[in-house]
A and B are shown apart, each in its own frame.
Chain A
Amino acid sequence: MNSQQTDAQRRRIRRTTIVLALVALGIYVTFIASGVMKAQP
């Protein structure tokens, strides 16, 4: 993070980053889980 950022900006940036990373991880897990469900013999 930049030294010019305010504390409020830093908090918002951290929060948005975590949310977006969790969204990506969630999609990854969901698609593999859908494969698991589909591949049940």
Chain B
Amino acid sequence: MNAQHSHAHAGHEHHDDHGPAKGIGRWLFTTNHKDIGTMYLVFSLIMFLVGGAMALVVRAELFMPGLQLVDPGFFNTMTTVHALIMVFGAVMPATVGLANWMIPMQIGAPDMALPRMNNFSFWLLVAAFTLLILSLFMPGGGPAAGWTLYPPLVLQTGDALPLAIFAIHLAGASSIMGSINIIVTIMNLRAPGMTLLKMPLFVWTWLITAYLLILVMPVFAGAVTMLLTDHFFGTTFFAAAGGGDPVLYQHVFWFFGHPEVYIMILPAFGIVSEIIPTFSRKKLFGYDAMVYATASIAFLSFIVWAHHMFTVGMPLAGEMFFMLSTMLIAVPTGVKVFNWTATMWRGSLSFEPPMLFALAFLFLFTIGGFSGLMMAIAPVDFQYHDTYFIVAHFHYVLVPGAVFAIMAGVYYWLPKWTGHMYDMALAKTHFWLSTIFVNVLFFPQHFLGLAGMPRRIPDYSTQFADWNMVSSIGGFGFGLSQLLFVYIVVKCARGGAKASAEVWDGALNHGLEWTVPSPAPYHTFEEAPVVK
């Protein structure tokens, strides 16, 4: 893709618009996509640290068998709120932050199509997570039924239940507004010449993710609304005594929950699809196939939900259908993995921090994918269900999968945002510490699960002691390593060697964002570039 650079630069050299406002007002009332992107990323980093601290409470308790540090109710609250914060407060907002920063710059748009709604989406999210965290201090403790909020257990929650449900509604509304904004921006504000099949893969994956969000967030909102009316207004949607069915909740939840997994991982695919070609000095292998594979994964995500509930007692035909449809996801996912590998084939590779994280993603996400295939086999899943094998599986997909891709994205675009290069040696140290400790943390959980250790328990049989101790050491190592990430990012934001517009050798061929100076001016592409 080539842009007429004179057009790209003209926009910020001759515009008569103002720069950022001064003081706190800039951040409260900003409608600038870059400011809002920064706020999303900072918010997600704070949530990552808060949710991570909760995970460390869990790992500290599990360091040895027996009850040591916290009571079992609080332990359950920690597992529940850790998950809710990491899914809705850390991973999703991080990808939304990257979308806010990069989508307008990658498609040659001056800003998001609905800038005021963009600001509102962000602050709604802050309100949602303030409420969720405050719910920990309500009489009866915070929500403790797991992030899936299954009834009837969740209906035993104390005063925190309505607060948590309200928080989920607010976060959902924020996501839906953010998604509408992304879709209308991509569909209406692309630079002349940028056809759909010329868009960067990150933009494509976000377009598909935004549609997924609009289709499934209302489903989750509907499910938790029904929980609320069951608890407070005497309805019996999920109460068998009144003619309802608790399994209905599981169907509705997972109809949302499975696409939600792809909502977190598709933008990660997009980030990796940007980074691997840049550091291989090649075009992405099989661009069209990557787009169609992304769309196929999104479609399949709607027809596999009941693989999360093989053990509820479904008809055999149902089990077969969900088993086979789940296995089918391996096809488009395999296309992606092979295309990333083929992109590197005979490339002129270099291993800067973004590429290191992208490569770790490629290997470790694939491990998570393979354990997913194991669980897709219905009769085998009866053994794995609700064990630590599941915990190992989804953490491999989400931590060295989604989180590593987000870190790769931050390391890739940080010089463009700040105008400074970061400390490469420190970033590589952060990479190696993260990669080693993430495996020490999660790989032993496969063994624990296969040996039969159930998930969501604060105490366990002594036969599981050794691997739990190893896993907890990995957890603390991984958690502490992330403080290095915070230091690297803050140091880079405050100063450092000047970054060029291209930042990475050969990046100019890989997207419009590299045609603008570093740091990216407050307003870019006020005159649309022309894409050839």
Residues of A within 8 A of B (CB): 1-2, 4-5, 9, 12-13, 16-17, 20-21, 23-32, 35-36, 38-41
Contact = CB atoms under 8 A, between A and B. Distances in A.
B217 A24 contact: yes
Nearest to A4: B110
Contacts of B180: 16-17, 20-21
A13 to B, nearest CB: 5
B530 to A, nearest CB: 15
Given A20-B214, A28-B218, A35-B222, 19 more contacts: A2-B113, A12-B184, A12-B187, A13-B113, A13-B188, A17-B180, A17-B184, A20-B184, A21-B180, A26-B218, A27-B215, A29-B222, A31-B219, A31-B252, A35-B244, A38-B237, A38-B244, A39-B235, A39-B242
B222 A28 contact: yes
Contacts of B65: none
B500 interface: no
A16 B115 contact: no
The B contact surface, by secondary structure, is helix
A20 B183 contact: yes
A17 B114 contact: yes
The A contact surface, by secondary structure, is helix
A33 B257 CA distance: 20
Contact of A38 (B114, B179, B218, B245): B245
B309 interface: no
Contacts of A30: 222
B114 A1 contact: yes
B115 A23 contact: no
Contacts of B290: none
Nearest to B226: A35
Contacts of A38: 237, 244-245, 248
Interface in B160-213: 176, 179-180, 183-184, 187-189
A25 B176 CA distance: 10
A12 B245 contact: no
Interface of B: 110-111, 113-115, 176, 179-180, 183-184, 187-189, 214-215, 217-219, 221-223, 225-226, 235-237, 242-245, 248, 252, 526
Given A13-B188, A16-B183, A35 B248 contact: yes
Nearest to B525: A4
B245 A16 contact: no
A9 B189 CA distance: 8
A23 B219 CA distance: 12
Contacts of A17: 114, 180, 184
B184 A13 contact: yes
Contact of B218 (A12, A13, A24, A36): A24
A1 to B, nearest CB: 7
B136 to A, nearest CB: 28
Given A21-B180, A31-B252, A12 B188 contact: yes
Contacts of A41: 236, 242-243
A27 B184 contact: no
Given A23-B214, A41-B243, A16 B188 contact: yes
Contacts of B188: 9, 12-13, 16
A32 B252 CA distance: 10
Nearest to A40: B243
Nearest to B116: A1
A30 B242 CA distance: 21
